[in-house]
Structure 1
Amino acid sequence: MRALLTAVLGLLTLTVSARAGDRLDVQRVAFSPEGARVLVLWGGVQDGSGLSVARLSVLDTASGRPLYAASARSTSESAAWVRDWLWRSEETALGRLGVRSSRAAQPVYARAFPRAAPVWTEGTRGDASTTTLVRLWSRPVPVRLTVRALPSRCAFPEMLPEGERPAGFILTVNGQTVHADRSLPPDRECAARYALDRVYVQGNRAVFIIRAYTPGFEGPNADVVTVAAQLR
């Protein structure tokens, strides 16, 4: 099992300044037949650089632990081509994990963002929380997203909203904590706000798509964070 595969499909130089205003689309979510694993595939064109990118992650729904990840990017091919290339290239690994041929899941909750490009005001800021009622089964239950400041080595603190600091998040579902950041991973060292984007459910297994808002030179990026859980 590989922790991470990166396929580079063209000569590129990717810097922080090239990543601006990105909200990559979630294109496929699929649970294994018994619900023990879930696949999330997302991608699109990065606004600042024009790179076509695709990424996938497979998570264990009992522990929330990532099991497999892969990505591809190109300076010359379309986003659809890169996505399809990644999907074909990972056929064996995804088949072994039981998610390659699974039927695509439909979201039980999907937020409608008013603009194509992300803006800071979409996200919940540090030291605040947002509760969303989501119909996980036969009735709506509260999904609470709490954002709190955490120590960070953010290289661009001046690009965060005024007075704000890097932050992580806590996600609780009907009182059950399914995720709580204790520290910030490298790809979220400058994240300051978060938003609940989508929720998918199969039985008592669920995956939550969170958007992490990080600074870009043309506006914030709304990066995908996946949280898988077994719900009580």
Structure 2
Amino acid sequence: MRRTPLLIAAALALSGRTLAADFPNIVQQGFSPDGAYHLLLTSYYQDGSGFPRAALQITDVRRNVILYRREQTWRDEAEEEEGSAAALAALVAQWRSGQASVLSRYHLTAPVPGTRLFQLAPLTPQSYPAARASGVATRLGHLTLNSFPLPSGCTFNDFPTLGFALSLGVRDLQHDRRLPASRACASGYRLDTGYQYKNSVAVVLRVYSPGFEGPDAVPLVVTAALK
């Protein structure tokens, strides 16, 4: 059977998996043809349990607001091979096809990848990033990431919980005033990758929080319309 680009992308992403804890791989990302919406599809094998897991998220680019998010864990799927890239890719492709209606609604059936602005290598071995300002130069300007203490209701973290601020040049793309429940135990942030399509930008950060074997590093997308 011919392998689709989605299957190939998932297999390639997983084949290089050497990090401990949860480090979801980006299987697919891209924009709607008008640049209004952004799609992020990730997958990985959960640390500890070994269960396959995937997440699909659609973001309103201009408002930087999540419009749709769906996660899936396959608890009954026995792995024939340890961390099988092919098995995970097949599960994710079938699951994604079941969400055709919502992808069509936002014109993300075949998202446009755009142009990569930057790509940073993950921390190895995986550990919490230093809580200091970091940045990267892009053709659109300098991206700067800052983290700072923010209180939360997290009860199982030995490290201070942190929020973040991300700016492009002099423009703030996001500045936390409080920690949402999804990041209640966040204790670190790191730039991962970024893309531009027309006037739309999507920057992927990694959010670090306590995991089974070291910190998990889960993707978070910050979007913006430049004009």
Q: For the superposition of Structure 1 and Structure 2, which TM-score range results when normalised by the shorter chain? A: 0.7 to 0.9
- Counterpart mapping for 1:148-227 below 5 A: 148-158=148-158, 160=159, 165-227=160-222
2:139 match: 135
2:127 match: 119
Counterpart amino acid of residue 138 in structure 2: V
Q: Tell me if structure 2 keeps the 8 A contact 1:52–1:73.
A: yes
Q: Do structure 1's residue 47 and structure 2's residue 47 form an aligned pair?
A: yes
Query: By how many angstroms is 1:21 displaced?
Result: 0.9
Counterpart amino acid of residue 203 in structure 1: K
Give ranges in structure 2 of 5+ residues lacking alignment: 1-19, 79-86
TM-score, normalisation: structure 2: 0.82
In structure 2, C-alpha distance between the alignment counterparts of 1:185 and 1:44, rounded to whole Å: 23
1:86 match: 95
Give the percent of matched residue pairs that are identical in Structure 1 and Structure 2.
29
Residues 31 and 212 (structure 1 numbering): CA distance in 2 closer, same or farther, change over 3 Å? same
Q: Secondary structure at the match of 2:104?
A: helix
Q: Tell me if structure 2 keeps the 8 A contact 1:63–1:229.
A: yes
2:223 match: 228
In structure 2, C-alpha distance between the alignment counterparts of 1:102 and 1:150, rounded to whole Å: 35
Deviations 1:34-79 (A, max 9, x none): 1011111111111221010111111111111111111211131632
Runs of 4+ residues deviating >3 angstroms? 103-106
Query: By how many angstroms is 1:203 displaced?
Result: 1.6
In structure 1, C-alpha distance between the alignment counterparts of 2:214 and 2:143, rounded to whole Å: 28
Q: Tell me if structure 2 keeps the 8 A contact 1:54–1:79.
A: no
Q: Secondary structure at the match of 1:157?
A: coil
Q: Tell me if structure 2 keeps the 8 A contact 1:72–1:82.
A: no
Query: By how many angstroms is 1:114 displaced?
Result: 5.2
In structure 2, C-alpha distance between the alignment counterparts of 1:69 and 1:210, rounded to whole Å: 17
Query: By how many angstroms is 1:217 displaced?
Result: 3.1
Deviations 1:112-150 (A, max 9, x none): 1253x6221xx241xx211211224xxxx1101010100
2:68 match: 68
- Counterpart mapping for 1:13-52 below 5 A: 21-52=21-52
Counterpart amino acid of residue 205 in structure 1: S
1:103 match: 112
Q: Secondary structure at the match of 1:210?
A: strand
Q: Tell me if structure 2 keeps the 8 A contact 1:144–1:173.
A: yes
Give ranges in structure 1 of 5+ residues lacking alignment: 1-19
TM-score, normalisation: structure 1: 0.81
In structure 1, C-alpha distance between the alignment counterparts of 2:113 and 2:95, rounded to whole Å: 17
Residues 210 and 114 (structure 1 numbering): CA distance in 2 closer, same or farther, change over 3 Å? closer
